[in-house]
Every structure is written in structure tokens, then in C-alpha cells.
Structure 1
């Protein structure tokens, strides 16, 4: 799957929304934001000039890499209702855009919601109580359902990737899946496996035009009795978004776009501004997804994805570092 957006697109709201729509459909829906630029938060550490050694070679962090964390949240937007810590939904879908500003190419890293991390547990006053092992998807619940929740997951992903800084984040609530699918008149897919336990229509080989409700079932449904059901679901999400991007890019542009845009703003939390979107729209996303390497185990009745430390370290150096050239002393 390649995403291309013409530089000749008009700068109007509808066209800018289409850019965002294509980019952020990787969390199985789409994105619209308020149009107000926000300053990104930085750690204040300058590690670009540091030398790191790996397998006998010298590396330094690639200064041209920037990252965007995309979260699909399994709770409906309800900003008026206060929630206790642990009740703010979970990040069912976690994807990381790894973008190279020099080459204008991007890679997508999929992170299983079941990935085992040390969860930071907070009380109702926002004070940390303790840390416990758990699925990374649960970290979102201990924030505020908005910026703080995004920041908590962002920090966990950074830790998971050896301290790599996450520049931007965006979270999207589940009702946007239906809205975005309806906005393009449905998404046509061919069911690759037998998912009739989710819906009788999802029989292997069937062609199904997904409306809003069916799309939500297709990208979110899974058999929780199967240990690897989330891996299967991630594959369906990837299939859906490829069809979604292709079909959506052909259909978006009607006079109703602005209405849909306004409807979606309540579903999104992000620190991305229009200046970032205007820059990001020129990237070409590679056809193949990357997935965090590791294995699934069962513990206390729940699936846990345990990253493979050696393979993960290899991936980190491939994505975020560049090898220092050997100095010829002759």
C-alpha cells in the first residue's frame, strides 16, 4: 500500500481533511483536528551526536526521523462524564509512524495491544500509586481520556523502544470508524478467513460492502477465547485500511466533507497542528507493515505479548539509527 498526495492539492479545509483522512486511517478510521497548531513536547535531551555500539558497529540516532503515535480507543467520546482512573477506555489499536524527513518515506510499526509493560497506576487525584505488569492497552485508562492518557501510552511506547522519543500523538474514538466509513459510502472487502463468530456475513471468500456498523465489527471484533485473536484482528485492520484508503481517496471531495469534518473533531485528541500535516502529506508510506517481534503467552486468563529483546533491538537500530562510516586511517 502506497499513500501519495499530490503537492498540487488546494489548501482548503476539505482538501486538508482528505490528507488527514488518508494518513490517520491507519488506526482504522480517519482523523480530523481543530486546525490550531500546538507545540510538541520535547525531553530536552540531545542524543543525536552520541555514539552507540551494536554488534561491533558504531551508530548514532538519525536526526531526520520523526514519529507519530496513533491510538484507536475502545470507548465512545463522552467528555462531559467524569471517569475514575482505569475507566477511560483502552488503546485497542497502537501504530507508530516512523518518518524520514530526508527521504520523505515512512514506515508503520504495529504494536500489539497485549504487549507486556509496567503499567503506571494513578489515583483519582492523578498521583501515582504503583507500577504493575499488564497489557499496554490498559495504560490509556489511567489518564484523563484525552491528552494525559495519550501521554501515558506515548511514554510506554518510548520505553518499549529503548527510549526513542515519540514526537506526536493522535487518538481516535471508536465512533469515528462508523462515521468515516459512512462518509465514503461504505468499504468493499473480500473476507480472507472465517470470521462468522463476529458476524455471519464474514464468511471466507464473501465480498461484503461494510457500512458503518459492519466496519466497526470487522476492525474491532475478535474471539477472546483465542490466544492470538488480536494478531488476527490486526491483520483485518490492515486489510480494511488498505481498502479504506484506496476507495476513500477516490470518493472524498463532495460538498458534505465539511459536515463530516465538524462531526469528527470531538472524536480526536492530538498535538499535531496544520503545519505538521502540511509537511507529512508529502511522505510515501512503504507497502509493508512492520510488527513488534515477540511471542504470545497466556497468564491469568489473558493474552500477553512478550517482545523478543534481541529482535526488537535489531529493529530499533534499523529504524531509528544510522551507521557511522568507518574512518580510513591510511
Structure 2
């Protein structure tokens, strides 16, 4: 199904924040009704935040019919000079027909039209200008796709989750040392503060922001692996409280249950793609200029395959 009435554009970040919620809420279904009820209230009363850009009725029809869904994932960084901007931007397509997930990452410096603002700017500025509403509209316009759900999470919230769990482990691919921690290649165990250092490093990564996005995904995977363990069940309520404070989505609790039951096998096959472009300064500001053919390639990865 497509929202055909939307004006078409001129031009056409496995495991992610929404799966954290699905696993934490539903992976311990036998825990207790009180926990279940607390999770439901947290999702519906604290996390649930619809946006007008997304047709909720149409999305629920697609969910009920287990059609492919596109989920916009926004990681909101709270560094002083980046407050309120979505420094991690990914579109994840869940396709139950092929039991596959496709994740397309959009570099934060990508220059594009900010829908509702009427200017061309860095795509991560859309969140600063107009929150999830403007981010959804801008990404839809940039890629020529429909977004069915969005999930935004404050990156500080990920750190709080790590501290609630105790530690997480990740497989590190780039060795470096900062003023506080060593990050050797291989398995690294991290608490919350070390995790923050891990996800924010840019200058020592040969892939720059591309590498940073990759490390953010590794942290999310580490949280899921630890959060879904049996030993983490007693910490469930604390984790839900953290998510309730740091996460927003247009999904309600029933949507999450249905998504888990109808789309859980999509985790079997995960592919990732990072949109590429060339750096350019315009009026003294650095942007990533993405060619039309690259946008088209990303578009084709995310449109429904009939």
C-alpha cells in the first residue's frame, strides 16, 4: 500500500532500538502480569507519540497484513554542540515475505531539503527544527519512500541502559586509546561511561562518521544481547523506566506485540547499506552531497518488492 496522494520528491543504522523494546517487553512474557502491565503503561503513556506525517490507520492495516514496513530510527545525541539533532539516522525495512531486514544509514551531514522549513540543510537538522514530525517528512522526501513507524532514542538513554544492565560486551574492530579508556581490537567489556566514549569517537576512526554509526549499532546489539538474557529479568522494570524517559515512537503497545509476532523472523537475514557521497563546503559549512543515483539506489533497497 502506498500513500499516493503525497507529493513525490524531485529526487529520489541485527538489531535496533525498536527491537530492544520488543525483546524487553515481550521476551519475558512469563515474568508477571504486573510487569507486563507496567510495560504496557510505559509504552502507551510515556513513549507513544504519534506524528501527523504518518497515516496511522494505513500503517496498522499494513501491520495486520504483515506487509513490509519501513521504520525510521533516530539517535539523538546530547553533546553540547549537537543537542536536539539526530546524529544517527537509519531506515530499517522489515520484510516478512523474505524474512529479512534491510538497514539504510543516512550520514548526518547529508544536504537535502528540510520539508516544512523550505531550505536545504544537513538532514540531521530536521529534528532540531521540527522534531520527529519534520524528520519523518524530510527522510520520506529525500528517499522517495513511506515511513510507517519512527523510533527516536536519546543516546544518553543507551548509556543508562548499559549501567542498568551492569556492562555490555562488543566486538571492536578499530583499536584506539583516549584519555580514559583503551579500546583494543576484539571483545571489549564496557560500562555506561566507557560506552559513551566508544560511540562518540570520530577522529581516530578511519571511517569517520560512517565508523561512528557502525559502532552505535554495535552498542545497540550489545544492549539487546545482555538485556534479553535470563539474568536481566529482575532489571526489566528499571530498563522500561529508562526507555520511557529517553525514547519516543508512534507505536503503541499493541503494535509492538503484533510486530513481534508477525515480523520476528526478519532478524534471520540482515543487510546494511550506508549512503555515500562527497564532502563539499557551501558558504563555509561542510555538507555531504549525495548524487541522485546514490539516492535512487537507497530508494530501491527500501521500496516494497512485489
Q: Tell me which interval the TM-score lies in, with the shorter structure as reference length.
A: 0.7 to 0.9
Displacement of 1:88 in angstroms is 5.8
- Counterpart in the other structure of 2:44: 34
2:183 is aligned with 1:215: no
Cα distance in 1 between the residues matched to 2:207 and 2:111: 14
Structure 2 counterpart SS, 1:10? coil
Structure 2 counterpart SS, 1:166? coil
2:122 is aligned with 1:135: yes
Checking the alignment, whether the CA contact within 8 Å between 1:296 and 1:303 is kept in structure 2 is no
* 1:1-330 to 2 correspondences below 5 Å: 1=14, 10=29, 12=33, 14=35, 33-34=43-44, 41=52, 42=54, 64-75=67-78, 89-119=84-114, 131-143=118-130, 149-162=131-144, 164-196=145-177, 198-199=178-179, 201-205=181-185, 207-223=187-203, 228-251=207-230, 253-282=232-261, 283=264, 284-285=266-267, 286-292=269-275, 294-299=276-281, 302-322=285-305
Displacement of 1:74 in angstroms is 1.4
Q: TM-score, normalised by structure 2?
A: 0.72
Structure 2 counterpart SS, 1:254? helix
Higher helix share: 2
Structure 2 counterpart SS, 1:154? helix
Q: How many positions carry a matched residue from both structures?
A: 270
Checking the alignment, whether the CA contact within 8 Å between 1:116 and 1:136 is kept in structure 2 is yes
Cα distance in 2 between the residues matched to 1:63 and 1:245: 24
Displacement of 1:199 in angstroms is 4.7
Cα distance in 1 between the residues matched to 2:71 and 2:124: 17
Give structure 1 stretches of 5+ with no counterpart.
Answer: 21-31, 47-61, 77-85, 121-127, 144-148, 324-330
141 and 88 in structure 1: CA distance in 2 versus 1, 3 angstrom threshold = farther
Structure 2 counterpart SS, 1:230? helix
Displacement of 1:212 in angstroms is 0.8
